[in-house]
Amino acid sequence: MADETWSDLVAVADLHANWVTRVDLGGRAFAVYDAPSGIYVSLALCNHGGADLCDGYFEGHLIECPLHQGAFDVRDGRPLDTPATRPMKTFPARVENGMVQIALPARRQRQ
Amino acid sequence: MKPIVTPLTQALSEGKLTRDELRDFMVRSDGPALRLLFFWVLVLLATGSLIWLAWDSWLIWPAMFLHGIVVVHHFSLEHECVHSTVFRTRRLNKIVGTICGLIIILPFKHFRYEHCDHHTYTQLKGDDPELIEMPKSFAGYLYYISAIPYWRAKFTELAMHAAGHLTEAEKRFIPKVEYGAVIFEARAMLAFYAALFVLMAATGWWAPIWFWLIPLFLGEPVMRFVRMTEHVGRPTVAQMRDNTRTNLVSLPWRFLCWNMNYHAEHHYASSVPFHALPRLHEKLKDHICVEPDGYLGAHRDILRQLRRAPHG
């Protein structure tokens, strides 16, 4: 964690409750999931077809790509169903003072 | 990963649809599909009974044709299962989709992956693996509807897969880890049909031929006729509002095709289940191509374009 820095991403109050919310930060799009066991964050674009996962169907811990219906587990990014076969990029997330924060590599954050 | 702007993202950004509305449309439930499947089985029993009643007369042929129209529409259910939207659980979608694929000789996994590229490259010649080309002549139009080219392509595909061969195009849309599964699926399907024929020959029980396979081949031209209405005659461009046609058809046809007549809406948001497509249509109808006269209107459009096209 020494090489990572926590960054504010979005206020919890601005999240779509029990759903996925798209947030742009530093030129990158993130998907923030309000899941039954907490808040999780991944890159917003599907690593299979490049569609925006934030437009997809979200239930439990499963996010489904809106284009090809591939699916991922938002907790760890592992693919749950094809055509998605590679884990999606997820980020450590926490809530501090009403803000969702994610841990980004320190070097990237300075850019 | 190169980002792509899906029609859905575009519709959301243009305000044609709000995120809350989309969320509401996408809700998955088993109820609507189970209710429809109940009536589906009743209709299959009814049209199958007509074959039985017409057994000793020439009327068996129109009866098998009518039954075949229902049988070939297992394609529509399989298609919905490909999108994992019929039932709430993905496993149930796969089971039902695989059964439908077995009934109409269309392996589920292969169709699923092929269909992915159809949604990515809709109507783009050379990229859309399901593209049905605009016929060049009236004879070509009738030839496509005969389903002869369809069956030739499908049987060739099945034989190639069973032999362990995938084309270069297929290797692009099938995930590498699934090559083996697609090949196994083709072999399993051929083994199933071989076992069925052995069973029929051994027992003299030929009912599957009369109540399933002949109706399937008699009915397939109707499915070709229906499938042509989705994109044929629309521009071969990437814009969804242009390249796909929604056809307003009567309740029996909507029942048979699991609301897939709302085809432009389906392409806009393929995560929306069949039962929500009429509601999505109300939101998008001013932004898409709608054929008010249904399948016949679409074919009138296709034939009109065919007449205008330069010959030779």
Domain-by-domain residue ranges, chain A? 16-93
Nearest to A55 among B8, B90, B178 (CB): B8
Residue B201 DSSP symbol? H
Q: Is the pLDDT of residue A2 over 60?
A: no
How large is the C-alpha radius of gyration of chain A?
Answer: 13
Query: CA-to-CA distance for B87 and B96, rounded, in angstroms?
Result: 9
Q: Per-residue pLDDT for A24 more than 50?
A: yes
Structural domain including B84 reads 7-308
CB atoms within 10 A of CB B119: 22
Q: CB-based contact (8 Å) between B90 and chain A?
A: yes
Is ipTM strictly over 0.85? yes
How far, in Å, are B77, B178, B312 from residue B129 at the CA level? 20, 18, 26
Structure confidence at residue B1 as a pLDDT band (50, 70, 90): low
For residue A83, say if its preceding peptide bond is cis, omega within 30 degrees of 0: yes
Predicted model pTM: 0.93
User: What pLDDT, in 10s, does the model give residues B19-74?
Assistant: 889 999 999 999 999 999 999 999 999 999 999 999 999 999 999 999 999 999 99
State the residue for tokens 């496509």: B144
Residue B2 lies in a domain: no
The arithmetic mean of pLDDT across residues A13-27, rounded, is 93
The model's pLDDT over B212-269, given as tens digits with 9 standing for 90+, comes to 999 999 999 999 999 999 999 999 998 888 999 999 999 999 999 999 999 999 999 9
Q: What does the pLDDT read at residue B266?
A: 96
Which of B17, B7, B263, B40 has the alpha carbon at shortest distance from B130?
B263
Name the residue with tokens 């007369």. B57
For A16-93, which CATH class? mainly beta
Tell me if the bond preceding B215 is cis, omega within 30° of 0. no
Top residue of B271, B272, B274, B280 to mutate, by most chain A CBs within 10 Å, is B271
What pairs with residue A29 in β-bridges?
A: A24
* Nearest alpha carbon to residue B48 among B4, B103, B91: B103
A69 → chain B, closest CA residue: B83
What pairing do the DSSP bridges indicate for beta strands A20-25 and A28-35?
antiparallel
- Which residues contact residue B121 at a Cβ distance below 8 angstroms, ignoring those fewer than 6 apart? B127, B128, B238
**Dihedral angle, C-alpha A54, A59, A62, A65, nearest 10 °:** -40
For residue A111, is pLDDT > 50? no
The answer to whether B22 contacts A55, with C-beta atoms less than 8 Å apart, is yes
Residues of B in contact with A71 (CB under 8 A): 84, 90
Does residue B1 belong to any structural domain of this protein?
no
Residue B17 lies in a domain: yes
Write down the pLDDT at residue B6.
76
Say if residue B311's pLDDT is above 70: no
Residue B312: predicted pLDDT: 46
B55 secondary structure, DSSP code: T
Q: How far apart are CA B195 and CA B129, in angstroms?
A: 31
> Using 50, 70 and 90 to split pLDDT, how confident is the model at A43?
very high
CB-based contacts of B311, cutoff 8 Å, min separation 6: B137
| Chain A touched by B113 (CB under 8 Å) | yes
CA–CA distance, B189 with B4 (Å, rounded to integer) = 36
Residue B181 in any domain: the answer is yes
Q: Residue B169 falls within a domain, yes or no?
A: yes
Digit-coded pLDDT (tens) for B153-172: 999 999 999 999 999 999 99
Predicted local distance difference test score (pLDDT) of residue B68: 98
A contact test, residue of B119, B174, B240 with most A CBs within 10 A: B119
Cβ(B147)–Cβ(B224) under 8 Å?
yes
- List the single residue in B with minimal CA-CA distance to A18: B23
Residues of A in contact with B26 (CB under 8 A): 57
Phi, psi of A58 (to 5 degrees): -125, 125
pLDDT band at A19 (very low <50, low <70, confident <90, very high): very high
CB under 8 Å to B57, separation ≥6 — which residues?
Answer: none
Q: Suggest the residue from A33, A57, A64 to mutate for an interface test with chain B (most B CBs closer than 10 A).
A: A57
- Return the closest-CA partner of residue B284 out of B63, B5, B25: B25
Q: Helices (H), strands (E): how many in chain A?
A: 1, 11
Contact B8 A49 (CB under 8 A): no
Closest Cα in chain A, distance from residue B299 (Å): 28
Q: Per the domain annotation, does B261 fall within a domain?
A: yes
Nearest C-alpha of chain A: how many angstroms from B6?
6
Residue B185 in domain: yes
Contacts A34 to B, Cβ<8 Å: none
Report the number of distinct structural domains present in chain B. Answer: 1
